[in-house]
Amino acid sequence: MIPPKFEYCSPTTLDEALSLLRRYNVEAKLLSGGQSLIPLMKLRLATPAYLIDINRIPGLDHLQESHGSLSIGALVREADLELSEFVRSKCPIVCETAKVVGDPLVRNMATIGGNLAHADPANDHPATMLALEAEIVATGPKGERTIPATEFFTDFFTTALRPDEMLTDIRIPVPAAGSGGAYVKLERKVGDFAIVGVAAQVTINATGMCERAGIGLTNVAPTPLKAYSAEVFLQGKHLDQASIEHAAELAAAASQPEADLRGSVDYKRDMVRVLTIRALTAALERASGQVR
Amino acid sequence: MTIHRIRVTVNGIEHEAEVESRILLVHFLRDVLRLTGTHIGCETTHCGACTILLDRKPVKSCTVFAVQADGRDILTVEGLEQGGQLHPIQDGFWQEHGLQCGFCTPGMLITGYALLQRNADPTEEEIRWAISGNLCRCTGYVNIVKSVQHAAEKMRQGEAA
Amino acid sequence: MTPRTAPEVGGMGHSVKRKEDPRFIRGQGTYVDDIELPGMLYLDIVRSPYAHAKIKKIDVSKALAIPGVLDVITGETLAKYNLHWMPTLMSDMQMVLPVEKVMYQAQEVAAVLATDRYTAADGVEAVDVDYEPLPVVVDPFKALQPDAPVLRTDKPGKKDNHIFHWEVGNKAATDRAFREAEVTVQQDLYIPRIHVCSIETCGCIAQFDRVSGQLTVWMTSQAPHVIRTVFALVAGHVGLAEHKVRIISPDLGGGFGGKVPVYPGYVIAVAASVLTGKPVKWIEDRMENLQADSFARDYHITAELAAKQDGTLTALRIKTLADHGYTDAAANPSKFPAGLFHICTGSYDFQAAHVEVDGAYTNKPPGGIAYRCSFRVTEAVHTIERMVDILAHELQMDPADLRKKNFINPERFPYTSALGWEYDSGNYGGALDLAMQRIGYADLRQEQAEKRQRGELMGIGISSFTEIVGAGPSKHFDILGLKMFDSCEIRIHPTGKVIARFGTKSQGQGHETTYAQILAEELGIPVDDIQVEEGDTDTAPYGLGTYGSRSTPTAGAAASIASQKIRAKARKIAAYLLDAREDDLEWEPGKFYVKGSPERAKTIQEITFAAYTDYPEGMEAGLEAVSYYDPPNLTFPFGSYICVVDIDKGTGQVKIRRFVAVDDCGNIINPMIVEGQVHGGLTMGLAPAMFEEISYDEQGNIQQGSFIDYLLPTAVETPKWETDKTCTPSPHHPLGAKGIGESATVGAPAAIVNAVVDALWHLGVRHIDIPITPEKVWKCLRDNGVTA
């Protein structure tokens, strides 16, 4: 229950934060929402000597669009994302994903940047970012660099961020007309991590043919997974029950779940199949303009 | 620095204190300010017994460090009653038997209060969703929903008056 | 039941708003951790990561080097005072702190005393314990095998892990009935260990005053008097005497049976206070609570029913293996090591029955009798209601019809069951009929048939339970020898206001209101004028506490009897004041009046004033009475619950579409409070049925050691419960009331399981052990060729 001692700093500029990161290096952790980090510290599973609170840095909580890209600041709270009409109008799957992160109280503190940077394979946004083929913007001493989401999650709780970098922005290509997405999360109860989660984002053309499909899987591997074989299969095809079911089989085959208290390997794998069908079906309905 | 001077406004009163960086906000409220209405029911950020308003948003005070609250505004259950008058959310819980042992109640009151600030007429489903971060063992939630609905009705009448 | 008193008086039947609420809604409750005393120290506990291990060495040097850490208490410290072991409430022995070895994961090993809770936590981390792991026994069946390591090496001559064998019923008649039966069904059921998880964990503040020798302990205890006596008996040799021990149970954030036992933390805190002369606070955190105390269930059951082809039940036979963890600390009445499990003939008229229960030791924390189980009644009801449903399905009979065919008819009460209980009253068919009507049973069966044609899975489950509460008559009931009476002491002040104290202890049941309502009913004094107190052993009359739904049946009855004594004296005073004969006076709530001349009356307030100012010569002043009520029997609340579920064939998730609960707890004191008890009880029936389980791996590691994996239902998982009632008063209770606190936890799980199995029976599914997780359902579906 009681965290160990640590030094706390609360920079008010990005530069200050980055210089603290550089100085304290692996002994420091960034504090954004704190809803993952602080529980770990209370259990003494995370024992950073320095905590760099980035919540007072202005300019990290924007929600805007530029050049066809939706830009979400790292410090945007999950609750704000959930309720954002702006984001819903551009890319509703992000709102749907935010809605199932933790519980409503956790969402008032938790940030999308933290959800991505923490890289818990059970976190929800990573799969959605893979489905959207989003980009992560990392800011370091030499300035910004862009990392495709597909290259961002490298291992269990590990990202491509360097020790002296901070995730500052998420850039999502605004889906074209004829797009629809859905994030479906199977959980034991509200507030739990996913047994399995599936993000599906599709674009269909005027004849109902799939132009692109993005499918991301939550909590079935050490990192979020992009179901490439399922995506490739769907490209150029009509999305119907048969093609959706086949894509779901491919997604299930691509998953690498481990048995734990949330489920056996067989169950989780079958749930990838079931949830992929549901996510694709919902995505298709939304893409076709039908109200769900 | 491991000791920080912080200034926090709690229930309208400004407090200044020196705190260790690791002290949790809930311990600051309970042990330093002696506002023991906010409770602790777990250490994994599940139960919500520690819910308070931080800059008008309900959050779990066990998962915030007191130093993070420097310069910010907090409402705890003790701040709901104003000028000797119970807030409708408090009266709602009393009228509808929305509490039994009372331990989860402060958290439920704050969450209910916050819900009604942004949604004056929530449906049953919306209420259940809003309190899904607050665990109760005694009531089975049915009367908690009724309590919030009672408060919503009272507040709508108050507005109409 | 139409209330006899006016709403302003608030007697029985009124939904009086709770008197305790004003402080809780303001956050002004006083729970143990809210209390701060000058000079108070903090205790935090070092716990074993191993389920079974020798303690080689405890190195406290690093801990003691931390500024603010004052001491580290170990088993060696307590052994000097022979306090390292102490009795459990079942007269087994438990370790307070071990000297030789630990026997469960999370067992207390040492305790750090510090100036504040943060430093105490640092101290705990700095204590280094050297363990030598020993072979672990977690399977109770294996524990009873001849080659199993003997766990309780502290018991001289103990050569196995068997705790008790207990049986009841007529074995010969039962066996014969099975041999002659037209139909028999058998089923193994496992009811897993669960944890009560009151939102407030356990804790205490122990304050020993060296000058006066007085020990005061604020404690999360449902039974403060029992604790006081136990402390005096156990620590008498180190100077604690019962008149110098005061236990105060302040506001409690839930109990549900988890706050009955004496946990090591309490004793260590007391020892620390005695050693230092300072107040010592110990509050366990949630993971400690989940891993070390407040457990329930863990029954491995094999049940059999014998019946006729037409569904008439003839006999019941049950064998159970009870996994008690490393010591028997399940606080049952001492004659009943399996509690009231032999209520398992349930609502049905069995000619013969036989039950055997064997208890086993394993390397787990002490199992318990918590979680609103009414002393193993949850286990009993789950068994009989599952078996009855299995039989109905095997015979292709409607489960409602089979139940009605076998219910004990109302005319048969008082009814003595084949296992020896005398049920006081019941109308089982009435409750079931009402439930069926409320839920629209016939329409649902039709809908189910139609859906089944389309391959949709829908189920309807019934549970028609009989509860047994109000322990209990002195002839058969005691805890550590203390008879299970309970008490009420009433004192009325000159201005007609009342203070009443009870030997029970509410943890949310609303006694400050309901007891006041009983007194309002009996005396006609408004509830607002009645102050109810519980929980301070210095002032409250002796009682056995609140658990097992016993408060209304015992202390509530005591309130009535004590009120009758008050009325008897009041009658004398009234007669004197009115210059009439006592038997010329009539009583209605609030006043005595002369028969035939109602204007010649004295109100109770006039009488109470007179009790101090103008009373007959030779009479003592004052108006007070005490009753220690020995119930002549238990009471038998009952009900019928019906649950409707829809199953998602893809995920295996079970959605409870509707749940109707019809309860009968006899005469009701406060309908609003009773309904609240049912809502809460149903939710604590839902939770073990679908979400909660405590399990251990082969090494004795707990699998659900925090709320991450021990899943308490939120408002989203919890259905909107529908409640209704019938009223069959208890013939022997002075108020006709029976008690309600645990009925819903007892009755609900079977209704849910029955519904799920009912949805899947046609696929070949016969039984699913709780908790029914989506994966378990999914497996049933896939194993039987159903996919989505």
**What CATH number matches the domain at B88-160, 1.10.3210.10, 1.10.150.120, 3.30.1780.10, 3.40.50.970?**
1.10.150.120
3-class secondary structure, C113? strand
CB contact A261 to C (< 8 Å): yes
For residue A49, give the chain B residue with the closest CA: B2
Mean pLDDT of A43-56: 97
**A2, B22: Cβ pair inside 8 Å?**
yes
CB contact C539 to A (< 8 Å): no
What's the complex ipTM? 0.98
Instruction: Say whether both C308 and C271 belong to one domain.
Output: no
Q: Yes or no: say if C31 and B103 are a contact pair by the CB < 8 Å rule.
A: yes
Q: How confident is the model at residue A110 (pLDDT cuts 50, 70, 90)?
A: very high
**Alpha-carbon distance B63 to nearest alpha carbon in chain A (angstroms):** 6
- Cα C487 vs. chain centroid, distance in angstroms? 19
**Alpha-carbon distance B49 to nearest alpha carbon in chain C (angstroms):** 8
* Residue C177 is assigned to a structural domain of this protein: no
**CA dihedral sign of residues C699, C700, C705, C708:** positive
Domain ranges of chain B: 3-79, 88-160
**B100, C256: Cβ pair inside 8 Å?**
no
Q: Is the pLDDT of residue C333 over 60?
A: yes
For residue A186, give the chain C residue with the closest CA: C651
Q: Is the pLDDT of residue A180 over 60?
A: yes
Instruction: Say whether both C231 and C342 belong to one domain.
Output: no
Q: Is the pLDDT of residue A235 over 70?
A: yes
Indicate the pTM of the whole model: 0.98
**A104, B68: Cβ pair inside 8 Å?**
no
Residues of A within 8 A of B48 (CB-CB) are 103, 105
pLDDT number for residue A206? 87
* Residue C181 is assigned to a structural domain of this protein: no
pLDDT number for residue C610? 98
CB contact B60 to A (< 8 Å): yes
Residues of A within 8 A of B131 (CB-CB) are 104
- The backbone torsions φ and ψ at residue C224, rounded to the nearest 5 degrees and listed phi first, read -60, -35
Token reading at C503: 């030997």
pLDDT number for residue A292? 36
Q: Yes or no: say if B156 and B88 are a contact pair by the CB < 8 Å rule.
A: no
In this complex, the residue of B91, B132, B140 whose CB is nearest that of residue C716 is B132
3-class secondary structure, C730? coil
**Alpha-carbon distance B159 to nearest alpha carbon in chain C (angstroms):** 23
Whole-angstrom distance, CA of residue A39 vs CA of residue C706: 12
Instruction: Say whether both C398 and C449 belong to one domain.
Output: yes
Q: How confident is the model at residue C788 (pLDDT cuts 50, 70, 90)?
A: confident
Instruction: Say whether both C105 and C223 belong to one domain.
Output: yes
**B37, C26: Cβ pair inside 8 Å?**
yes
CATH of the domain at C86: 3.90.1170.50
Average pLDDT, chain A: 96
Instruction: Say whether both C530 and C434 belong to one domain.
Output: no
Instruction: Say whether both C358 and C313 belong to one domain.
Output: yes
Whole-angstrom distance, CA of residue C296 vs CA of residue C290: 12
* Residue C533 is assigned to a structural domain of this protein: yes
Number of structural domains in chain C: 3
Average pLDDT, chain C: 97
Q: What is the pLDDT of residues C659-681, one digit of tens each?
A: 999 999 999 999 999 999 999 99
In this complex, the residue of B4, B24, B132 whose CB is nearest that of residue A103 is B132
pLDDT number for residue B160? 67
**Alpha-carbon distance A25 to nearest alpha carbon in chain C (angstroms):** 25
Q: Number of A to B CB contacts under 8 A, please give it.
A: 91
Please, which chains are in contact with C (at least 3 CB pairs closer than 8 A)?
A, B
**Alpha-carbon distance C27 to nearest alpha carbon in chain A (angstroms):** 20
* Residue C7 is assigned to a structural domain of this protein: no
Cα Rg of chain A (Å, integer): 19
Mean pLDDT of C458-466: 98
Mean pLDDT of C177-184: 98
Q: Is the pLDDT of residue A290 over 80?
A: no
Q: Which DSSP state fits A176?
A: P
User: What number does CATH give the domain B3-79?
Assistant: 3.10.20.30
CATH of the domain at C514: 3.30.365.10
Residues of B within 8 A of A43 (CB-CB) are 43-44
For residue C513, give the chain B residue with the closest CA: B100
Of C707, B140, B59, C647, the residue nearest A192 (C-alpha): C707
Give mean pLDDT in consecutive 10-residue pieces for chain B, a chain of 161 residues: 92 98 98 98 98 98 98 98 97 98 98 98 98 98 98 90 57
Instruction: Say whether both C434 and C462 belong to one domain.
Output: yes
Whole-angstrom distance, CA of residue A172 vs CA of residue C335: 70
Instruction: Say whether both C128 and C79 belong to one domain.
Output: yes
* Residue C418 is assigned to a structural domain of this protein: no
By percentage, how much of chain A surpasses pLDDT 90?
97
Mean pLDDT of C728-748: 97
Instruction: Say whether both C400 and C494 belong to one domain.
Output: no
State which of C230, C253, C283 marks the end of a domain: C283
Instruction: Say whether both C570 and C492 belong to one domain.
Output: yes
Q: What number of helices (H) and strands (E) belong to chain C?
A: 20, 32
* Residue C601 is assigned to a structural domain of this protein: yes
Instruction: Say whether both C498 and C645 belong to one domain.
Output: no
Mean pLDDT of C429-435: 98
Mean pLDDT of C65-83: 96
pLDDT number for residue C760? 98
Q: What is the pLDDT of residues A72-104, one digit of tens each?
A: 999 999 999 999 999 999 999 999 999 999 999
State which of C629, C662, C690 marks the end of a domain: C629
In this complex, the residue of C199, C251, C509 whose CB is nearest that of residue B104 is C199
Mean pLDDT of A268-286: 97
Strands B73-75 and B3-10: parallel
Mean pLDDT of C648-667: 98
CB contact C182 to A (< 8 Å): no
* Residue C538 is assigned to a structural domain of this protein: yes
Q: How confident is the model at residue A291 (pLDDT cuts 50, 70, 90)?
A: very low
**B45, A35: Cβ pair inside 8 Å?**
yes
Q: Is the pLDDT of residue C278 over 90?
A: yes
Whole-angstrom distance, CA of residue C154 vs CA of residue C86: 12
pLDDT number for residue B161? 57
Of C346, C301, C340, the residue nearest C322 (C-alpha): C301
Residue range of the domain that includes C589: 21-29+486-629
Instruction: Say whether both C324 and C262 belong to one domain.
Output: no
Mean pLDDT of C603-615: 98
pLDDT number for residue C164? 97
Q: Number of A to C CB contacts under 8 A, please give it.
A: 49
By percentage, how much of chain B surpasses pLDDT 70?
98
Q: Give the list of residues 6+ apart from residue A203 with CB closer than 8 angstroms, or none.
A: A175, A176, A178, A179, A210, A211, A212, A213, A287
By percentage, how much of chain C surpasses pLDDT 70?
100
Q: How confident is the model at residue A207 (pLDDT cuts 50, 70, 90)?
A: confident
Of C162, C163, C133, C54, the residue nearest C98 (C-alpha): C54
CB contact B63 to A (< 8 Å): yes
Catalytic residues of C: 222, 372-373, 742
